[in-house]
Amino acid sequence: MIHSARGAKRPSGHGNSCGKRVDARSERWREHRIKVRAEFVDAAFRALDEQGPDVSMGDIARHAGAAKPKLYRHFEDKTDLYNAVVERLQDLLWERILADTDLLHDPAREVVRRSIAEYARVVSEHPNVFRFMVHSHFTQQATDSERALQSLRQSAKRAATMLVEVMDPQSVDVDGAEMVIYSIFGAVGSSTDWWLGASRPMEQATFANYLTASVFGIASSAATLSGVRFDPEVPLPQAFSTQPAH
């Protein structure tokens, strides 16, 4: 069916033909922009890993082998690039987690433990990227800081929505889950900032264990407050339940 459509003759009308050419050019340009943005984000990671969290837009452009004006053609401003770096880091983390975790069938305790272990591993591989996220001069202006905060809120909402989708909708509400996840993100961020700046370095595995305990503490407390039973030994979709414990 697809082959036949591709082999079919184009309409003879000039307007339709021009429309197809314009659409094709627009699609190629869109794909090109996506590719170039991704290359700049890769360059940002390299610049951060090598030079630290105080990199400039010029530093990133140089690592990409491009002039700074080209960088600004593909990003609205510094915060746009900052958000793209955060998004790439989130994608990297999700890839690592999903490669070794079954969200639907593994016990909730294992899902959280593995997720935190992968998070700690990614932090140890790209510590300056995390320092950039927390302390970046890219987001020092009030409007930029608000945009970065809004990005965090959106991430929490996406995570809460995904959590509700795999769970019994009667046991968890989106607003409550979003608030709890936002609290967990805040705790994880603060703990990571401490870990990266600690005068006496803590072992990666020890940090992950403490962080796992903190996440479970927040989740358990929120469940108790909401009158929901939390059982970390069962798969995530059944971990929160309105049914009383037996």
* Residue-level pLDDT, tens digit, the chain, 246 residues: 333 333 344 444 444 545 555 578 888 877 878 899 999 999 999 999 999 988 999 999 999 999 999 998 898 888 888 889 988 988 898 899 889 888 889 999 999 999 999 999 999 999 999 988 877 767 656 565 565 556 566 666 666 666 666 666 565 666 777 778 888 888 888 899 899 998 888 999 999 999 999 999 998 888 888 777 888 999 877 887 765 544
User: Which run of H or of E encompasses 241?
Assistant: strand 240-241
Q: Which residues contact 94 (CB under 8 A, 6 or more apart)?
A: none
229 strand-pairing partners: 241
Q: Can you tell me the distance from the alpha carbon of 219 to that of 216, in angstroms, rounded to the nearest whole number? A: 5
Q: What is the pLDDT of residue 183?
A: 84
If you search the block for the tokens 């959280």, which residue do you land on? 112
Q: What is the pLDDT of residue 142?
A: 53
B/e letters for 179-197, b = 16+ CB within 10 Å, e = fewer, are ebbbbbeeebeeebeebbe
Largest CA distance in the chain: 74
pTM for the structure as a whole: 0.75
Q: What is the pLDDT of residue 6?
A: 38
